[in-house]
């Protein structure tokens, strides 16, 4: 039986497997892991800083154009409109557009979802929140060959769990972006490998 992918429309709401509120729960035959999405403190702070910076640049540009200070500090009205004022306005516009995108991603909580492994039905259901709809991937448990822990240090560190599935590319299970603590990744990987009775790789 081949793995199937079944996207659900945004009006259908989250799939049943995405309703878990903790990091993982099991009742013997079912293991469910909640996945944190974009609604994180680091993303909120980034969106806030970009919003304030973009607004400041736009107000500085408008002050230069109108000849009066619209900011509570500084003397932006003294800036020459061409090129300083215009360039600051373009920077401000770009920052506001980026901030709008960030707030949209946070508001939708893109990337959130759950991983549900059901031994009674023999299915794994991986669900994630996209921009327009929920994306659900179903995989037969018998096609899962191993659980892998991927660790990469450096400028762009990575610590994540992936499933090695027969005839498919590795399927990530953990959140995107902010790396998880190594001890947490190792514990989650060991619990999942034990539940699925498959090898744990990468340690």
Q: Domains plus CATH for the chain?
A: 4-37+110-201 (2.30.29), 42-108 (no CATH)
Q: Is pLDDT above 70 for 1?
A: no
d(CA 169, CA 111): 19
Q: Is pLDDT above 50 for 18?
A: no
d(CA 101, CA 107): 10
**93 beta partners:** none
Q: What is the pTM of this model?
A: 0.78
d(CA 119, CA 197): 11
d(CA 33, CA 17): 9
Q: Is pLDDT above 80 for 16?
A: no
3 state DSSP class of 114: strand
Q: Is pLDDT above 50 for 34?
A: yes
State the residue for tokens 């154009």. Answer: 65
For residue 163, which of 194, 200, 129 has the smallest C-alpha distance? 200
Kindly report the number of other CB atoms within 10 A of residue 34's CB atom: 19
Q: What is the pLDDT of residue 4?
A: 42
Q: Is pLDDT above 60 for 5?
A: no
Q: What is the pLDDT of residue 179?
A: 78
Q: What is the pLDDT of residues 113-146, one digit of tens each?
A: 999 999 999 999 999 999 999 999 999 999 999 9
Q: What is the pLDDT of residue 198?
A: 97
Q: What is the pLDDT of residue 14?
A: 55
Q: What is the pLDDT of residues 142-192, one digit of tens each?
A: 999 999 999 888 787 888 999 999 999 999 998 877 778 889 999 999 999
Looking at per-residue pLDDT, the higher value among 93 and 7 belongs to 93
3 state DSSP class of 15: coil
């Amino acid at each position: 039986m081949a793995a199937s992918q079944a996207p659900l429309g945004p009006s259908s709401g989250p799939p049943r497997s995405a309703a878990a509120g903790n990091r993982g729960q099991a009742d013997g035959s079912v293991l469910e892991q909640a996945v944190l999405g974009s609604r994180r403190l680091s993303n909120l702070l980034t969106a806030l800083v970009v919003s304030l910076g973009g607004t400041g640049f736009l107000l500085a540009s408008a002050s230069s154009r109108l000849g009066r200070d619209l900011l509570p500090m500084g003397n932006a009205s003294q800036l020459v409109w061409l090129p300083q004022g215009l360039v600051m306005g373009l920077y401000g516009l770009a920052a506001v557009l980026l901030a709008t995108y960030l707030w949209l991603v946070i508001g939708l909580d893109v990337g959130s979802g759950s991983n549900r492994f059901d031994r009674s039905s023999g299915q794994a259901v991986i669900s994630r929140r996209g921009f327009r709809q929920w994306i659900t991937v179903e995989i037969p448990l018998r096609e899962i060959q191993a659980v892998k822990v991927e660790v990469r240090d450096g400028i762009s560190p990575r610590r994540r769990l992936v499933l090695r599935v027969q005839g498919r590319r590795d399927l990530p299970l953990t959140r995107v972006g902010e790396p998880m603590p190594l001890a947490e990744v190792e514990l989650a990987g060991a619990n999942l490998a034990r539940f699925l009775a498959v090898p744990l790789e990468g340690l």
